[in-house]
Amino acid sequence: MAKLFFVGLDGTEKSYRLQTHRPFTVGRDPGNDIILRDPKVSRHHAEIVFERGFFVLHDLASANGTYVNGRRIRVAPLTHGAKVRMGNTYGRFSEELPTETDDPQQKNEPYEQPLPSNASTPSPSPAPPPSAPSLAAVPPPIAPPLSVVSVTDDLADMPTSSHERLAMDTMPHEKITEEDLGDDVKKKA
């Protein structure tokens, strides 16, 4: 279960539970999922999306920027304990292991029962079903270390939403001589 904790300008802390199946918008506008009442926060400041197994923070071209662990970012993965700042509002990302009560489908899923060691000899009484494994005993997956993408990196031109950017580079063209232009150049001169 992933949570984002923000401390408001009044000093109160609010927590927001993030879900993997939809993005979360952050900003001053009341239509956002996470509303930050801070004049330095843009109306549509940032978006948090679950991508490739990680929550990723995307700055939405905010006026005052989005910071993760003290560095201004456009796109950055959120790791457990990451410090987030938008305007004058500070936050912290927490990613905890799910408990058995967090995933009700886990209890209802059938599990495989082991085959008897000697199938030819019938056992006098049926063996009791094995207990379901506890999720607390399962170690967290080991992920490769991720680094924050700063604005100065080559990835700074990466789109911050599902919209692709257009290449606005100047394309080379053939060199045009005065002979090619003919009378048009002589009339202007």
Provide the CA 171 distance to its chain's centre, in angstroms. 35
d(CA 158, CA 53): 19
On the question of pLDDT at 156 being above 70, the answer is: no
Q: What's the pLDDT score for residue 63?
A: 96
Band (pLDDT 50/70/90 cuts) for residue 67 is very high
Q: How does pLDDT run across 109-144, given as a tens digit for each residue?
A: 444 545 555 545 555 555 555 555 555 555 555 555
Structure tokens that stand for 22 in this block: 């939809």
Helices (H) and strands (E) in the chain, counts: 3, 11
Question: d(Cα 46, Cα 60) in Å, to the nearest integer?
Answer: 5
| Length, in residues, of the chain | 189
Q: What is the pLDDT of residues 6-59, one digit of tens each?
A: 998 888 899 999 999 999 999 999 999 999 999 999 999 999 999 999 999 999
Q: Assign 1 a pLDDT band (cuts: 50, 70, 90).
A: confident
pTM of the entire structure? 0.53
pLDDT averaged over every residue in the chain: 74
